[in-house]
Amino acid sequence: MSASVLVVDDEATFRLLAEEALTAEGFHVTSAARLSDARRITDLSMPDVMILDRRLPDGDGLDFLASLAPQVSENTVVIMVTAYGDVQSAVSALKAGAADYLTKPIQLTDLIVKIRKVIEARGLRDQLVRARSQASGAPTIEPESVAMRAVVARLRQVAGSRFTPVFLRGASGVGKQRAAEMLHEFTHRSAVDAPFIDVNCAALPDELVESELFGHEKGAFTDARTARRGLIELADGGTLFLDEVAEMPTRVQAKLLKFLDSMRFRRLGGQREIAVSLRIIAATNQDAEAMVRAGRLREDLYHRLAVFVIEIPELVERREDIPGLARGFATFFSERVKKRPLTIAPAALERLMAYRFPGNVRELRNVIERAVILAQGSEIGPDDIILPTGRSGSAAAAAAAPLFSIGLDGRGAPPSLEAVERAYVARVLEYCDGHRTTAASTLGISYPTFLKRLRELGLDN
């Protein structure tokens, strides 16, 4: 079992974001908005880690912590959440048995790093390793295909060079993040507490990218009430994975290049140089050379990142891996929804093997997650495997039919480019039965970029 985390906080937004982030990291997460709910949960089973807010609607988190003192000392690690500047509460929490504390507003990256550190400190190394291997939900299997065996061999080859930058190339959904995690695991086998920090550059607002990566000092900008370490600093001694690296603003690309040359940087608004030791793994699902020519990716940065390039093949090129991946996903999601591990019927496997999976491993993951929810018995049957069919009624026919065609507008003229794009994206969503993650994979763009474009096209509703 992976480490379990209980989040006790009355702020619904924080609970939701924390649940999503920690679940994505491979932890089993439950949450409570009140101390009474938390008591019911802990009476049944104590979690490995508890994130406990000080001020709750029905009591004081410190009193709750004190009431759990015996269990906390033996079984549970508590991280106390206090208000900004409330030093006394932090001191009281540590005296009451909390392993650490965080002050609001909480950065999810800081929370994840803190949880990993307290788990490691308490000796729960097996849970930490398992949580990492399950972070993306991708099962750890020995690939059957020659293509993926070659990828794993390349990852093992470069693992011995701890600080060599690696550039992963491949279509959206092929498993670039899992490849980055595997390289990190191969590199740091003897140090499971080495941090693995991943960031999707497309998901960060342009004005915050520099602060997120390099950190900032107090007063560096209007909302900088305290000094804060950036993702580079948090990744010291481990790995920083930059997904969608070409989406990074060019001014930040220049600063990243300077950092790569010296492994030293200054926080935003700071004067002191900070030295770190880490590996940078960058990735893109687009043609990197084309992005360089278009001016979206600095040529000098690309050459600095692409010291060791690994191509991740699409799932259609390695069909032999589908059964193993599908079984691994079935086990993973069965555990997540509290079911006994489900097997996959031969007829269901045949359906999977006959489909092209334009969304690659990510789409397969979604298909199996849905199948686990739908399955009634002890196995996943062919009727539980729901694949996009379009209007034709069959996956094969949909693959052969044109996805989209352009007509003239009411005046007999070609429609505007934006109108074409809006209609095309709407058609892709229809083709993917409204599943946005699958649609993003089909279009070959990241999910955050897809959501942003939906808003711009007025299709977000």
- Whether 153 maps to a domain, the answer reads yes
Q: What is the pLDDT of residue 321?
A: 95
DSSP 135: T
Boundary residue ending a domain (367, 387, 407): 387
- Whether 131 maps to a domain, the answer reads no
Please check whether residues 277 and 210 belong to one and the same domain.
yes
Q: Is the dihedral of CA 46, 328, 351, 359 positive or negative?
A: positive
385 pLDDT more than 90: yes
Opening angle at CA 39, ends 33 and 40, nearest 5:
95
Please check whether residues 161 and 261 belong to one and the same domain.
yes
Highest average pLDDT, of 224-228, 264-268, 436-440, comes from 264-268
- Residues sharing a CB contact under 8 Å with residue 31, sequence separation 6 or more, in sequence order: 6, 7, 8, 9, 15, 18, 19
Please check whether residues 326 and 281 belong to one and the same domain.
no
CATH of the domain at 76: 3.40.50.2300
- Whether 140 maps to a domain, the answer reads no
Which range among 29-43, 46-60, 137-151, 355-369 shows the weakest confidence by mean pLDDT?
A: 137-151
436 pLDDT more than 70: yes
- What confidence category does residue 413 fall into, taking pLDDT thresholds of 50, 70 and 90? low
Give the rounded percent of residues in the chain with a pLDDT score beyond 90: 41
Q: Is the dihedral of CA 359, 364, 370, 375 positive or negative?
A: positive
**45 vs 78: CA distance, rounded Å:** 15
> How do beta strands 273-275 and 264-266 pair?
antiparallel
Q: Lay out the sheet containing 49-53: strands in order across.
A: 28-32, 4-8, 49-53, 77-82, 100-103
Please compute the mean of the pLDDT values over residues 376-396 and round it to a whole number. Answer: 73
Please check whether residues 423 and 440 belong to one and the same domain.
yes
396 pLDDT more than 50: no
**Which has more pLDDT, 425 or 398?**
425
Please check whether residues 298 and 180 belong to one and the same domain.
yes
- Residues sharing a CB contact under 8 Å with residue 378, sequence separation 6 or more, in sequence order: 340, 342, 343
- Whether 197 maps to a domain, the answer reads yes
- Is the backbone peptide bond immediately before 47 cis, with ω within 30 degrees of 0? no
Highest average pLDDT, of 44-53, 283-292, 432-441, comes from 283-292
- Whether 136 maps to a domain, the answer reads no
Boundary residue ending a domain (271, 286, 313): 313
Rounded to 10°, the helix 346-354/322-336 angle is: 120
CATH of the domain at 394: 1.10.10
219 pLDDT more than 50: yes
Range of the domain at 206: 146-313
Please check whether residues 459 and 400 belong to one and the same domain.
yes
CATH of the domain at 366: 1.10.8.60
35 pLDDT more than 60: yes
Please compute the mean of the pLDDT values over residues 221-247 and round it to a whole number. Answer: 87
Number of domains in the chain: 4
CATH of the domain at 227: 3.40.50.300
**E strand or H helix at 19:** helix 12-24
Please check whether residues 171 and 306 belong to one and the same domain.
yes
- What confidence category does residue 461 fall into, taking pLDDT thresholds of 50, 70 and 90? low
Which range among 21-25, 315-319, 347-351, 433-437 shows the weakest confidence by mean pLDDT?
A: 433-437
Side-chain half-sphere of 186: how many Cα atoms within 13 Å? 20
Q: What is the pLDDT of residue 391?
A: 38
Q: What is the pLDDT of residue 239?
A: 94
Which amino acid type is present at position 257? Answer: L
Q: Is the dihedral of CA 295, 298, 299, 302 positive or negative?
A: negative
Please check whether residues 240 and 345 belong to one and the same domain.
no
Please check whether residues 299 and 382 belong to one and the same domain.
no
Per-residue pLDDT of 334-373, as tens digits, reads 887 778 889 999 999 999 999 999 999 989 998 998 899 8
What predicted TM-score, i.e. pTM, was given to this entire model?
Answer: 0.63
Listing DSSP states for 234-287 in one string gives: HTTTSEEEEETGGGS-HHHHHHHHHHHHHSEEE-BT--SEEE---EEEEEESS-
Give the rounded percent of residues in the chain with a pLDDT score beyond 70: 84
Are 174 and 313 in contact, with CB atoms under 8 Å apart?
yes
- Whether 129 maps to a domain, the answer reads no
- Whether 379 maps to a domain, the answer reads yes
Please compute the mean of the pLDDT values over residues 381-400 and round it to a whole number. Answer: 62
Instruction: Please tell me whether residue 30 adopts helix, strand or coil conformation.
Output: strand
Please check whether residues 237 and 281 belong to one and the same domain.
yes
Query: Rounded mean pLDDT of the chain?
Result: 83
Please compute the mean of the pLDDT values over residues 249-273 and round it to a whole number. Answer: 93
**152-155: long-range pairs with CB below 8 Å, 24+:** 152/182, 154/308, 154/310, 155/179, 155/182, 155/183, 155/186, 155/310
- Whether 446 maps to a domain, the answer reads yes
Please check whether residues 377 and 452 belong to one and the same domain.
no
**445 vs 443: CA distance, rounded Å:** 6
Please check whether residues 280 and 337 belong to one and the same domain.
no
**E strand or H helix at 169:** strand 166-169
**328 vs 341: CA distance, rounded Å:** 10
As a whole number of Å, the end-to-end CA separation of the chain is 38
- What confidence category does residue 84 fall into, taking pLDDT thresholds of 50, 70 and 90? low
Please compute the mean of the pLDDT values over residues 165-176 and round it to a whole number. Answer: 94
Which range among 29-33, 143-147, 284-288, 423-427 shows the weakest confidence by mean pLDDT?
A: 423-427
Boundary residue ending a domain (330, 363, 387): 387
Residue 460 CA, chain-centre distance (Å), reads 22
178 pLDDT more than 50: yes
Per-residue pLDDT of 90-99, as tens digits, reads 777 777 788 8
Please compute the mean of the pLDDT values over residues 61-70 and round it to a whole number. Answer: 84
Give the number of other Cβ atoms within 10 Å of residue 315's Cβ: 26
Please compute the mean of the pLDDT values over residues 186-213 and round it to a whole number. Answer: 83
**Which has more pLDDT, 345 or 72?**
345
Closest CA to 133 of 179, 70, 67, 97: 179
